[in-house]
């Protein structure tokens, strides 16, 4: 029986914990793996290096052929790959039966001597074995036809006793019993599964507690939310009503102001209209009275002038600045003038003056006996009331003069 030398630090009581790859040999579908890329051989070719007996997949060996040399990652042995490889030849139909019987199948042995040309045996793609058969399968060393009972922690791969007894593994690598490694892996897996289950249970309990708390406080939250919504709705309605009231008040205020302004303007216009009506009526009355008095007065004046022909006055004139005699000196002759014509002339000029037309009334007589006839004054709208008063005075003077003479 092959013995394996162990280092003192590799004992069962060592404190140093082994490191394991994610692809553990505890898995049922990883009995055969490449020592370089750790891929399974169930779906590809198996290549065995004759120099050291370790397994290599076809893809890793094809990459090594480009460089002309392949270094085994397990034992660091060099293998020449410059001689090329013949085409593979089938050896058995079922590689799984061959694995159980200990026959090395589906492999390529690289030999350093070119005379001994190596053969590349390509296994057919067999159907997947039943699940119960896979569970009964154990790691098998095709190089030495022995079960792999040990596990190299540094190479992270199972080995048979012959591979484990090599110099590099026995002297420099840490070796463990495969059952011990599997037990540790199972223990770690169980612990991890237990931790995951505990974490899941704890999270599930937290979720259920949160859900229960949410269901418990949901009616209260809904009631609070409903109250907040109602409060906001009432606030909005109140704001709308206040805005309507404020708008209505502003409209009423503006309407009142507009009514007041309109009433003031209408009242002012009515006052002005009434004043104009009164003034027009007063002027009409004055015009009628003045016209009648003027006719009577000029009738007396005509009689007076006829009776007093020897006196030194012959005519008087009216200087008008308004149409129809604009800027024309109108001379009214009193000598031998019929009463009707004299009356019309006086009536026309007196009418202009009464209507507010600017005019200057003068008398050409220079006798000291009639000083009133020498008065003259301008007439325009600004002194129209004064002119009316003066006209009344003149009419009264003419009446007095006519009565005395």
DSSP states of 217-258 as a string?
A: HHHHHHHHHHHHHHHHHHHHHHHHHHHHHHHHHHHHHHHHHH
Residues 287, 167 share a domain: no
Domain assignment present for 61: yes
Q: What is the pTM of this model?
A: 0.26
Q: What is the pLDDT of residue 281?
A: 83
**What angle in degrees, to the nearest 10, is found between the helix axes of 384-404 and 178-307?**
10
Other C-beta atoms lying within 10 Å of the C-beta of residue 235: 10
- By CB neighbour count within 10 A (0-12 exposed, 13-18 middle, 19+ buried), where does 261 fall? exposed
What is the rounded CA–CA span in Å between residue 396 and residue 405? 14
Instruction: For the chain, list residues with pLDDT below 50.
Output: 1-31, 42-43, 84-126, 129-137, 309-339, 342-343, 346-347, 349-381
Residues 164, 26 share a domain: yes
Residues 167, 23 share a domain: yes
Q: What is the pLDDT of residue 227?
A: 92
Domain assignment present for 355: yes
Domain assignment present for 347: yes
Q: What is the pLDDT of residue 280?
A: 85
Q: Are strands 46-49 and 109-110 parallel, antiparallel or unpaired?
A: parallel
Among the candidates 153, 173, 193, a domain finishes at: 173
Domain interval for residue 35: 18-173
Looking at the structure of the chain, the number of domains it has is 2
Distances (CA, A) of 383 to 91, 356, 388: 151, 9, 9
Domain assignment present for 264: no
Question: CB within 8 A of 375, min separation 6: which ones?
Answer: 363, 394
What is the rounded CA–CA span in Å between residue 174 and residue 151? 8
List helix spans (H) across 111-177.
Answer: 131-136, 161-164, 167-172
Domain assignment present for 99: yes
147, 139 contact by CB (below 8 A): yes
Among the candidates 126, 146, 173, a domain finishes at: 173
What is the rounded CA–CA span in Å between residue 282 and residue 280? 5
What is the rounded CA–CA span in Å between residue 194 and residue 188? 10
What tens digit of pLDDT does each residue of 238-264 get? 999 898 888 888 888 888 888 889 988
Distances (CA, A) of 240 to 237, 248, 251, 303, 351: 5, 12, 16, 92, 71
Side-chain half-sphere of 213: how many Cα atoms within 13 Å?
6
Q: What is the pLDDT of residue 237?
A: 92
51, 79 contact by CB (below 8 A): yes
What is the rounded CA–CA span in Å between residue 139 and residue 30? 9
Q: What is the pLDDT of residue 44?
A: 52
Among the candidates 157, 173, 189, a domain finishes at: 173
Coil/strand/helix, residue 192? helix
- Residue whose entry in the numeric block shows the structure tokens 């009142």: 256
List helix spans (H) across 154-177.
Answer: 161-164, 167-172
Question: CB within 8 A of 134, min separation 6: which ones?
Answer: 28, 29
Q: What is the pLDDT of residue 174?
A: 83
Domain assignment present for 218: no
CA angle 58, 29, 73 (to 5 degrees): 40
CA angle 245, 250, 253 (to 5 degrees): 125
- And the tokens for 204? 């599930």
Coil/strand/helix, residue 165? coil
CA-wise closest residue to 169 among 151, 183, 184, 182: 151
Residues 160, 28 share a domain: yes
Torsion angles phi and psi, residue 150, rounded to 5: -125, 165
Domain assignment present for 352: yes
Domain assignment present for 43: yes
């Amino acid at each position: 029986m092959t013995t394996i030398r162990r280092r003192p630090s590799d004992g069962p009581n060592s404190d140093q914990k082994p490191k394991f790859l994610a692809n553990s040999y505890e898995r049922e579908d990883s009995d055969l793996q490449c020592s370089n890329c750790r891929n399974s051989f169930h779906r590809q070719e198996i290549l065995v290096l004759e120099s050291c007996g370790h397994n290599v997949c076809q893809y890793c060996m094809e990459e090594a052929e480009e460089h002309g040399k392949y270094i085994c990652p397990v034992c660091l042995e060099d293998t020449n790959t410059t001689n090329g490889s013949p085409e593979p030849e089938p050896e058995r139909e079922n590689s799984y039966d061959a694995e159980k019987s200990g026959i090395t199948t589906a492999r390529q042995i690289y030999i350093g001597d070119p005379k001994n040309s190596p053969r590349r045996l390509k296994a057919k793609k067999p159907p997947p074995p039943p699940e119960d058969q896979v569970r009964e399968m154990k790691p098998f060393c095709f190089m030495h036809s022995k079960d792999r009972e040990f596990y190299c922690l540094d190479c992270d791969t199972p080995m048979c006793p012959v591979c484990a007894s090599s110099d590099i593994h026995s002297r420099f690598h840490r070796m463990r019993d495969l059952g011990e490694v599997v037990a540790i892996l199972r223990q770690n897996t169980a612990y991890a599964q237990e931790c995951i289950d505990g974490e899941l249970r704890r999270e599930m309990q937290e979720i259920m507690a949160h859900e229960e708390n949410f269901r418990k406080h949901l009616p209260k939250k809904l009631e609070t939310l409903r109250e907040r919504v109602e409060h906001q709705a009432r606030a909005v309605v109140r704001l709308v009503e206040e805005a309507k009231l404020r708008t209505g008040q502003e409209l009423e205020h503006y309407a009142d102001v507009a009514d007041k302004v309109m009433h003031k303007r209408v009242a002012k216009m009515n006052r002005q209209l009434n004043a104009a009506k009164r003034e027009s009526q007063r002027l009409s009355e004055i015009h009628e009275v003045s016209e009648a008095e003027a006719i009577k007065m000029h009738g007396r004046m005509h009689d007076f002038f006829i009776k007093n022909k020897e006196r030194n006055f012959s005519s008087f004139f009216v200087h008008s600045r308004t149409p129809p005699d604009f800027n024309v000196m109108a001379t009214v002759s009193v000598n031998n003038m019929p009463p009707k014509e004299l009356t019309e002339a006086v009536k026309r000029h007196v009418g202009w003056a009464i209507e507010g037309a600017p005019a200057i009334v003068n008398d050409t007589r220079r006798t000291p006996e009639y000083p009133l006839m020498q008065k003259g004054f301008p007439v325009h709208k600004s002194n129209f009331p004064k002119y009316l008063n003066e006209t009344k005075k003149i009419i009264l003077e003419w009446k007095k003069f006519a009565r005395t003479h």
